[in-house]
Structure 1
Amino acid sequence: MNLDFLLCAIRELKRNKRRTLALFAGYAIAVSLLLVITAVTVFSKVHQTAVIGTTGTHFVTWLPSCGDLSSLTEEELAKLALGIIPEKCKQNCENCTGCNKKPKDILNEGFVINTNTTRLLTIDLANEINKLPGVRNASPFLMFRFRDPTDNKLFTVGGLFLGHLAVETNSCGTNEIIEGQYLSENSFNKVLVDDGYALNNGLKVGSKVIIAEEEFEVIGIAATGADPVKAEFYMLFSEAERVINRRIHNPLENEANIILVESVNGTVHGQVMEDVMKLMKNDSILTSGCYYPASKAIGLNEKLLWVFIVVILVSSILMTVKLQLSFVAERQRDVAILKAIGWSNSSVIKQMLSESFIISAIGCGTGVLISGLLLCVVPVEHLLGIEMSIGSPFNALSMVAVVMFSVFSGVFSGLIPVLFVLKKHPLEVLRRC
């Protein structure tokens, strides 16, 4: 396809302007509609993956308290209460660091997760989990059950790190405050209180509570709902360390009893839990079952997206083939005349390819501009009624695929009737046309 053929093609297209404009318009409308449909389809898939992919992608891991206490002698139990670790405990508890940090009131107080008593873990273990593939965030967490000596009531205190995503999804998050404010870096001697506990005990913002003989002010009330890790009070991790140290035999040293974990998305959540269990050498995991159907839904969306893309590409091919067949069918008489005056088959083919290429290229380019302007004026999120922005309204790969298929299918579909005409004698074609 050299310059001479292109110039001849341009002259021929100018000769019948109405037909040429009709072909350009047909291409532009069809391609713009296909591109808008593609943008809407891709956007819908991105939005669904963003929402479903983060459903149930959090879990909690811990080590249950030693089950060998029943096998210890009275002397060993007495020594354990003083922080002296029995030999059998040293051999069995590889990750545990808490044998010499038992509570002074061992019958009522201790490290727990909800109703389960736990061992202590190093914060370094949480850092190791944070480095695992598929882990978005891992955060150490302290939870200790206290006894109020004035009325013997039991309550739990959670110590958390600010700004950790795993805290937001597994425990008391910033979006759960229904009254007052959330903790800050300067929240010393400040606590959040669970709304149910506050209601039952007449607590409100500004109330004073005593924890481990120390006074704290309630600065916020949280509706923690179905969080995996629920406590009656929440405070900064460093504050929790300080008050817990008052109630155990030896102070904490960069330790926690719970690790909160947030996975990247539902598709890797199961593998992340397996990796964490291998690292912990234990199967104590508390998670939401929502991630399993969510991961299946993501896979279904992925398959449906490819189905839609294939349908769109096939539609673009059929559309361009129809347009070009109509165009070349009208040119059968012209093709026969070119043959009659001595043009070779290859020259005729190059001429028709040049005309088909110009029509499909300009028509597709116009369609891209129309769809781009349409999606800029009316963004996809407004068309679908979704509050989400993905930046450019186009997905580059899918858009290029639609345009390329439209252009090349249009160009080569024009060859079909041309080859059919070239097989016949020019006089036979001219008689019929």
Structure 2
Amino acid sequence: MKLWLIATELARRPRRTLTGVISVALGVAIFLGLQAYGAGYRAAAREPLSLIGSDVVAQRQGDRPASFENVVFPHSTSPVHVEEVERVRAVPGVEAVAAAMFFWSFQDEELLVGLGIDTTTDVGPNKLAAGVTQGRFLTPGDHDVAVLDNSYAEQHKITLGDRISVAGSPFEVIGTVDTSRAGQVANANVYLPLADSQRLVEASPGVRSVHDIRPGDVNVLFVRANPARGPAVADDIKALLGSEAIVTTPQSFDQVLGPSFVIIDRFGLIIGFVALLLAAASLLRVVLSTLRQRRRDIAVLRAVGWTRSSLRAQLVGESVALTFVGLASGLLLSLITVWLLSQTSVSIPIPWELSPTPHFVANGAKQLAIDVPLRSTLELLSIGLVLAIGLLAAVTAGLAASRRAARIKPSEVWRVD
């Protein structure tokens, strides 16, 4: 195999070379682009939970409140008892659990959404501490204090040091916070210490008339799990909480991401492989179609002593060189595609049960969503797979061409010419 002859041959037939390079490059770009797009969407789907440092959100479906007065639970929540929380903590693979109390409070013809937070762990809504805009966030030992959502505080003209009433109990406002920092999961107007929210809930006739509420109960669990056991942890928690359990994982968001993501995620690999196969077929066609034009050249090489193995190595080398130029071009196109995708953002809908509001109030039926960057990346496994398939296609095309070239007899070529 002579490298200078390979370079000369590719340069002598620019149309053939360009056709082969474009075919391979497009196949590679389509395959890698689809995989990067799907990976970016999957990463975006994990964003709502990752913003609160959680891998699983667990709650239990409840009953509709008997009346919408004072403090009630939305029907997507019901009590999780203390002993059940401890069993969740003991599930293999669970690293941390943050308990919370989510509730609605109807007062003065207005809805207030509240969340009681366990401040002893960095899992769950405690991540909101990074989004404080005024004052401070809740800390262990706090009582009778509250942190408000920015928009709620602005709408009601509430400032630091003011006192607000929640279910008839006064709370001093010690801070305001940007709730979008928690990924819109368990989104609330007011954040209270867990013990204070439990006191309000346990004293509410609207809760006691519907639920078996006990001291220390909560109704939302934020769980951080060992990544290697994430799916198993979710399954174990669902089994612990029973048939009414609502267990949300990053995979749960697949159902609300829309049909475009489902198509890309489920069929992207198939479509990508089809693109690669079409590129390989085009490469084979390009290599074989030029043999007729090169019959005289091959005859000369055979006449001056080139063996079949030498001819085979030369043709395989030309095919491999052509393919690697196409692979490099395709990889460059993929990098450009990934960069363009990374300049966009996607809207990730939040399931209603993770931030419920009554359907009969303004915007109550509106589904919340967060906009996150589409962090598409080229995965090394996909690149390696493309290189392997490209090399296989190049060698196959070169061997097929060499078999045909081996049947070319110099005497017949010169007689015909």
TM range (shorter): 0.5 to 0.7
Contact 2:80 2:220 (C-alpha < 8 Å) held by counterparts:
no
Counterpart residue identity of residue 316, structure 1: A
Within the candidate set 11, 23, 27, 1:18 is matched to 11
Does structure 1 residue 375 correspond to structure 2 residue 336? Answer: yes
CA distance in 2 between counterparts of 1:350 and 1:199 reads 76
Change (3 A) 1:142 1:403: closer
Partner SS state of residue 330, structure 1: coil
Change (3 A) 1:398 1:337: same
Within the candidate set 267, 271, 294, 2:256 is matched to 294
Deviation at 1:261, TM superposition (A): 4.2
Contact 2:62 2:74 (C-alpha < 8 Å) held by counterparts:
no
Report the equivalent of 1:255.
216
Report the equivalent of 1:104.
none
Q: How is 1:337-356 mapped onto 2 (pairs within 5 angstroms)? A: 337-341=300-304, 343-356=306-319
TM-score by length of 1: 0.59
Within the candidate set 76, 95, 99, 1:140 is matched to 99
Counterpart residue identity of residue 292, structure 2: A
Deviation at 1:385, TM superposition (A): 6.5
Deviation at 1:336, TM superposition (A): 2.4
Report the equivalent of 2:241.
280
Contact 1:228 1:287 (C-alpha < 8 Å) held by counterparts:
no
Deviation at 1:41, TM superposition (A): 1.9
Within the candidate set 388, 402, 409, 2:373 is matched to 388
TM-score by length of 2: 0.61
CA distance in 1 between counterparts of 2:385 and 2:57 reads 37
Deviation at 1:367, TM superposition (A): 2.6
CA distance in 2 between counterparts of 1:360 and 1:197 reads 60
Contact 1:183 1:236 (C-alpha < 8 Å) held by counterparts:
no
Contact 2:30 2:272 (C-alpha < 8 Å) held by counterparts:
no
In structure 2, stretches of 5+ residues that fail to align are 50-55, 64-68, 205-213, 347-371
Report the equivalent of 1:190.
145
Contact 1:26 1:323 (C-alpha < 8 Å) held by counterparts:
yes
Contact 2:319 2:394 (C-alpha < 8 Å) held by counterparts:
yes
Deviation at 1:175, TM superposition (A): 10
Change (3 A) 1:300 1:354: closer
Within the candidate set 97, 117, 121, 2:81 is matched to 121
Does structure 1 residue 397 correspond to structure 2 residue 360? Answer: no
Report the equivalent of 1:410.
394
Q: How is 1:25-424 mapped onto 2 (pairs within 5 angstroms)? A: 28-52=21-45, 58-61=57-60, 113-114=73-74, 121-122=81-82, 125-126=84-85, 128-129=87-88, 132=91, 138-142=97-101, 158-162=115-119, 166-167=124-125, 183-185=137-139, 189-192=144-147, 205-209=160-164, 216-219=171-174, 233-238=190-195, 240=197, 255-261=216-222, 275-281=236-242, 283=244, 285=246, 291=253, 293-294=255-256, 300-341=263-304, 343-361=306-324, 363-364=325-326, 366-367=328-329, 370-371=332-333, 375=336, 379-381=339-341, 388=373, 390=375, 393-424=377-408
Deviation at 1:204, TM superposition (A): 5.8
Change (3 A) 1:62 1:128: farther
Contact 2:35 2:269 (C-alpha < 8 Å) held by counterparts:
no
Counterpart residue identity of residue 216, structure 2: E
Contact 1:364 1:406 (C-alpha < 8 Å) held by counterparts:
no
Q: CA RMSD, aligned part only?
A: 5.6
Deviation at 1:317, TM superposition (A): 0.5
Contact 2:24 2:280 (C-alpha < 8 Å) held by counterparts:
no
Contact 1:62 1:257 (C-alpha < 8 Å) held by counterparts:
no
The Cα offsets for residues 79-104 of structure 1, whole Å up to 9 and x where unpaired, read as xxxxxxxxxxxxxxxxxxxxxxxxxx
Counterpart residue identity of residue 81, structure 2: L
Deviation at 1:304, TM superposition (A): 1.9
CA distance in 1 between counterparts of 2:48 and 2:275 reads 30
- State the percentage of identical aligned residues: 18
Partner SS state of residue 255, structure 1: coil
Counterpart residue identity of residue 60, structure 1: Q
The Cα offsets for residues 181-220 of structure 1, whole Å up to 9 and x where unpaired, read as 6733276542145899989998665422467998531245
Contact 2:25 2:329 (C-alpha < 8 Å) held by counterparts:
yes
Counterpart residue identity of residue 380, structure 1: L
CA distance in 2 between counterparts of 1:358 and 1:146 reads 71
Counterpart residue identity of residue 319, structure 1: S
**Which has more radius of gyration?**
1
Counterpart residue identity of residue 329, structure 1: R
CA distance in 2 between counterparts of 1:203 and 1:255 reads 30
Deviation at 1:413, TM superposition (A): 1.5
CA distance in 2 between counterparts of 1:160 and 1:116 reads 18
Counterpart residue identity of residue 39, structure 2: V
Contact 2:316 2:397 (C-alpha < 8 Å) held by counterparts:
no
Change (3 A) 1:20 1:384: farther
CA distance in 2 between counterparts of 1:278 and 1:118 reads 16
In structure 1, stretches of 5+ residues that fail to align are 1-5, 65-107, 248-252
Partner SS state of residue 328, structure 1: coil
Report the equivalent of 1:430.
414
Contact 1:62 1:258 (C-alpha < 8 Å) held by counterparts:
no
Counterpart residue identity of residue 373, structure 2: M
Report the equivalent of 1:74.
none
Count of equivalent residues:
361
Contact 2:291 2:405 (C-alpha < 8 Å) held by counterparts:
no
CA distance in 1 between counterparts of 2:284 and 2:380 reads 24
CA distance in 2 between counterparts of 1:218 and 1:206 reads 5
Partner SS state of residue 257, structure 1: coil
Deviation at 1:22, TM superposition (A): 6.1
